[in-house]
Amino acid sequence: MADLEGDQIRTFKDFMANYNKLSEICFSDCVWDFTTRKVSNVENSCAINCAEKYLKMNQRISTRFQEYQMMSNENALAQVSKMK
């Protein structure tokens, strides 16, 4: 039970770190005008595009990492099979 809670906490911390990074990057790239309280259409579009690209990039990296891990595991298994 403690391991499950630890995993959930770690997953939540990872999510929050990603969310904070996304917010920081897109805010600094897309918010330019601090003379008004309203978010301009240009800033809004930029933030949406930024978030979409960041999330797609993050998903692609995760997918590639999983593929690499699978290949690595298959290669290790093949090496063990050759030794027998």
What integer pLDDT is reported at residue 84 of this predicted model? 66
In the chain, which ranges are continuous DSSP H helix?
2-30, 41-83
Identity of the amino acid at 21: K
Residue at token pair 């579009």? 45
Within 10 Å of residue 7's Cβ, how many Cβ atoms? 10
Amino acid found at 28 = S
pLDDT tens column, 35-56: 999 999 999 999 999 999 999 9
In this structure, are residues 31 and 60 in contact, taking their beta carbons and an 8 Å threshold? no
Query: What is the per-residue pLDDT for 4?
Result: 76
Identify the sign of the CA torsion 14, 15, 17, 21: positive
- Percentage of the chain surpassing pLDDT 90? 73
